[in-house]
Amino acid sequence: MKIVLDHKAALAAARVKRLDARHPLVRRATRQRAYAIETRFLRTAAKTGPTEPHDPLVLPPWEPRADRNDARIGYTPGLAAKEAAANFLKWVAAIDQRDLVIYTDGSQVTAPTRAAGAGWAVCQGPGHPIVARGRLPLPRAEVFDAEAVAALRGLQEACASVRAEFADNLYICLDNLEVARSLTFQTTTSSQGAFAAFAEAAQQWLQRTRRPHTSPGRVIIRGSPDTQAYQATRLQTQKQEQPQQWKPEQRQPQRLSRTRSAA
């Protein structure tokens, strides 16, 4: 019975957190008081702890929704992992060497404690080798949020890099279809701040400092659930194409035996 009641109280606290900031209950829970006071409502509202702000009215009905056309993000349903990997390698080989390619990923562990993390790698040059990388732990996030944060941080690092001056386009590859569909759009899901910041960073890419021979370009999203498969294939291909480093041959010293000449 105690577990059931605690669950009900946690649901009530979560509903309070999801309310608009102008709601009377939110004002009552966040109001500054001259003296300490504790009520049953304040105890319930404090059960959730620190949470991400969420605005359910950020996307009115007249605003454009996320484009659900998967062809926009280069995803073809029904492909096997090997076929998707081959298509990706063919697609990435046609990208200009000056362009930036960002690979992002979000993951989660459940032991010893539940936590998520975001990672990204920026590639540029012949064969698109990795030129920058980063990671960020997110103790209170889910995989969906980690994917969105990884795409945002990768884009921000690419925009701030001096390599952006020489690139035309920027490609972001991730393996979460829902995040790939929602990037550059307003959403009512979690990580609203990350999606809004990504849209602003995408506009900053068009306004970046660039060389005379480059064009403003655009930010291109590439998403597929088989991205991990063709990322592994790409990394394996790069590993095979790396020239072997020359190492000096180490020889064991030979012992010279002395012979006495006959008298």
Residue with the larger pLDDT of the pair 198 and 253: 198
pLDDT of residue 186: 76
What tens digit of pLDDT does each residue of 46-60 get? Answer: 777 666 766 767 777
pLDDT of residue 252: 54
pTM exceeds cut of 0.75? no
pLDDT of residue 241: 46
pLDDT of residue 139: 82
DSSP secondary structure letter of residue 34: S
DSSP secondary structure letter of residue 113: S
Mean predicted confidence (pLDDT) in 108-119: 83
Neighbours of 198 (CB within 10 A): 26
Give the integer Cα–Cα distance in Å for 121 and 105: 9
Residue with the larger pLDDT of the pair 247 and 224: 224
pLDDT of residue 254: 54
Share above pLDDT 90 across residues of the chain, in percent, rounded to a whole number: 2
Domains by residue range for the chain, with CATH = 2-48 (no CATH), 70-240 (3.30.420.10)
Label residue 257 by pLDDT band (50, 70, 90): low
CB 90 within 8 A of CB 125: no
CB-based burial label for 128 (10 Å; 0-12, 13-18, 19+): buried
pLDDT of residue 244: 45
Q: Classify 92 as helix, strand or coil.
A: helix
Q: Examine the pLDDT at 35 and tell me if it is beyond 50.
A: yes
Label residue 237 by pLDDT band (50, 70, 90): very low
Identity of the residue numbered 254: Q
* Minimum mean pLDDT range among 5-9, 47-51, 125-129, 244-248: 244-248
DSSP secondary structure letter of residue 242: S
Give the integer Cα–Cα distance in Å for 121 and 119: 7
Tokens of 78: 């029904």
pLDDT of residue 227: 54
What tens digit of pLDDT does each residue of 214-236 get? Answer: 777 777 887 765 555 445 545 54
- Write down the mean pLDDT value for the chain: 77
Rg, Å, the chain Cα set = 27
Label residue 107 by pLDDT band (50, 70, 90): confident
What tens digit of pLDDT does each residue of 52-103 get? Answer: 766 767 777 777 777 777 777 877 777 787 888 888 888 888 888 888 888 8
